[in-house]
């Protein structure tokens, strides 16, 4: 898989992809992540990528020309399955979306900034708009990282135990069950006996029931 992220603040993304699972995924060849500085595609020597909004109002708008140049250059080099724009008014990101996107080959993620992008970008270049929640961030970089992380960890070979991702919260519309590790007793707080029994079938049943109970209590909307 290849993920191209377009941003006017590329250094915000540097450290995120240079550590832990995401770094190992790139080193092992499971994914390629490229960050593109939108200012490199600006039409003037000031490397400007924003301008005032027609009709007035507070805030600046990301201009269409550098975004169009960047996306068109990338698309001339390979086919992309989706061109994603991260925006508060997009489709709410969910595990099922991450699952689907983890199976494609090439993605572009465009990070918004200021008051957003010229609407013509959304009309003519974007194929999918994603929101990570009903709130506003200073820019789309954090949202792009969230989306990329959730996708990359699902790619076969990225996690040491590939079945780990299958038992995460929101797979099968259930929250994950509680987990425990050593010591079995801490200040009188003990691990449930069933988890120490070694009986795999009973442990699986217990975990399913715990997932179901936790989902009913905390996220009943997932069961509707």
Domains within the chain, CATH numbers bracketed: 2-152 (3.40.1280.10), 169-223 (1.10.1270.20)
Nearest-angstrom CA–CA distance, 10 and 140: 11
Helix (H, G, I), strand (E, B) or coil at 49: coil
pLDDT score at 194: 96
Query: Going by C-beta distance under 8 Å and a sequence separation of 6 or more, which residues neighbour residue 184?
Result: 190, 191, 196
pLDDT score at 172: 80
Q: What is the pLDDT along the chain (224 residues), one digit of tens a residue?
A: 999 999 999 999 989 999 999 999 999 999 999 999 999 999 898 999 999 999 998 899 999 999 999 999 999 999 999 999 999 999 999 999 999 999 999 999 999 988 999 999 999 999 999 999 999 999 999 999 999 999 999 999 999 776 566 666 667 889 889 999 999 999 999 999 999 999 999 999 999 999 999 999 999 999 98
DSSP 187-220: TTEEPPGGGGS--HHHHHHHHHHHHHHHHHHH-G
Strands 82-92 and 106-111: parallel
Picking from 91, 78, 85, 94, the residue whose alpha carbon sits closest to that of residue 2 is 78
Nearest-angstrom CA–CA distance, 89 and 144: 15
Q: Cβ distance 111 to 35 under 8 Å?
A: no
pLDDT score at 176: 87
Strands 60-62 and 189-190: unpaired
Nearest-angstrom CA–CA distance, 129 and 88: 9
Q: What is the pTM of this model?
A: 0.88
């Amino acid at each position: 898989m290849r993920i191209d992220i377009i941003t006017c603040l590329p250094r915000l993304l540097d450290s995120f992809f240079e550590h832990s699972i995401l770094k190992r995924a790139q080193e092992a060849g499971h994914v390629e992540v490229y960050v593109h500085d939108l200012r490199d595609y600006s039409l003037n020597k000031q490397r400007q990528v924003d301008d005032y909004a027609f009709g007035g109002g507070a805030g600046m708008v990301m201009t269409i020309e550098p975004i169009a140049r960047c996306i068109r250059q990338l698309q001339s080099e390979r086919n992309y399955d989706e061109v994603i724009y991260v925006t508060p008014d997009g489709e709410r990101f969910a595990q099922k979306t991450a699952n689907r996107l983890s199976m494609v080959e090439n993605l572009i993620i465009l990070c918004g900034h200021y008051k957003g992008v010229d609407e013509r970008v959304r009309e003519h270049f974007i194929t999918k708009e994603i929101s990570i929640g009903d709130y506003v961030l200073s820019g789309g970089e954090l949202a792009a990282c969230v989306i990329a992380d959730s996708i990359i960890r699902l790619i076969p070979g990225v996690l040491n135990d590939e079945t780990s991702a299958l038992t995460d919260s929101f797979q099968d519309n259930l929250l994950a069950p509680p987990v425990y590790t050593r010591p079995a007793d801490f200040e009188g707080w003990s691990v449930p006996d069933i988890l120490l029994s070694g009986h795999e079938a009973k442990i699986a049943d217990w975990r399913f029931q715990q997932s179901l109970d936790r989902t009913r209590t905390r996220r009943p909307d997932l069961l509707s």
